């Protein structure tokens, strides 16, 4: 008996906000820019370090977080990391990263469902002041990061959908 194909995973792309940036930082910037280029995924941004984790974990099969990190050598690199690695990569014990880590831990300890969570982390300069002003350097930097991040997010979405299809055909 052939199994029926499972539906596509419910995917959320969530831009995390760095409150020190008046425009919201790289996470929301990427989320807003991706809205037009990605289909069949929900895209949102948050300024809260403590979003409604139970709702997110229940409503989505895959969560892709967009955030900045400062502990890396190549400014502008786009990395895919575990949510557990986020706190150390952000250059300190970051409240956002710690909140995600604790929410995942608590959900697992209570036997609740935890979606697949991938962090698309953008290496940003330690001196963010030079990126606050809309200069040609700023615009070029953000276009380059947007191109890289878009490809990484598309790859994660494609991989998530491919795994759903291969799992349903077993």
The whole-model pTM stands at 0.82
The rounded distance, in Å, linking the Cα atoms of 14 and 64 is 6
The residue among 17 and 38 whose pLDDT is bigger is: 38
- Mean per-residue pLDDT over the chain, rounded: 79
Contact yes or no for 14/54 (Cβ under 8 A): no
Q: Which residue has the higher pLDDT, 133 or 70?
A: 70
Q: Is 78 helix (H, G, I), strand (E, B) or coil?
A: strand
Look at 170 and 139; give whichever has higher pLDDT. 139
21-69 pLDDT, tens digit per residue, is 544 578 888 999 899 888 889 999 887 666 788 888 999 999 999 988 8
- Write out pLDDT tens, residues 81-107: 888 777 677 655 467 777 888 889 899
pLDDT for the residue 168: 45
In the chain, domain spans? 11-165
Average pLDDT over residues 124-135: 59
Task: Select from 114, 73, 108, 68 the least CA-distant residue to 92.
Answer: 68
pLDDT at residue 17 greater than cutoff 80: no
Nearest to 37 by CA among 122, 145, 153: 153
Query: What CA–CA distance (Å, rounded) separates 62 from 114?
Result: 9
20 pLDDT more than 70: no
The kind and range of the H/E element at 123 are strand 116-123
pLDDT recorded at residue 166: 53
Q: Who contacts 120 (Cβ-Cβ below 8 Å, separation ≥6)?
A: 30, 64, 65, 66, 67, 78, 79, 80, 149, 152, 153, 156
List the Cα angle 63/118/77 in 5-degree steps: 130
Domain 11-165 architecture: 3-Layer(aba) Sandwich (3.40)
């Amino acid at each position: 008996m052939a199994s029926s194909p499972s539906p596509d995973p419910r995917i959320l792309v969530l831009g995390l906000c760095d409150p020190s940036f008046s425009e919201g930082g790289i996470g929301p910037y990427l989320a807003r820019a991706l809205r037009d280029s990605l289909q069949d995924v929900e895209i949102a941004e948050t300024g809260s370090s403590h979003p409604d984790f139970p709702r997110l974990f229940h409503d989505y099969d895959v969560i892709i977080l967009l955030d900045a990190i400062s502990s890396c050598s190549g400014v502008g690199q786009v990395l895919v990391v575990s949510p557990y690695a986020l706190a150390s990569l952000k250059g300190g014990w970051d409240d956002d990263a710690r909140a995600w880590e604790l929410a995942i831990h608590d959900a697992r300890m209570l036997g609740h469902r935890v979606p697949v969570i991938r962090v698309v982390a953008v290496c940003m300069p330690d001196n963010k002041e030079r990126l606050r002003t809309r200069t040609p350097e700023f615009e070029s930097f953000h276009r380059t990061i947007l191109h890289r991040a878009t490809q990484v997010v598309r790859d994660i979405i494609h991989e998530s959908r491919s795994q759903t299809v291969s799992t349903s055909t077993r």
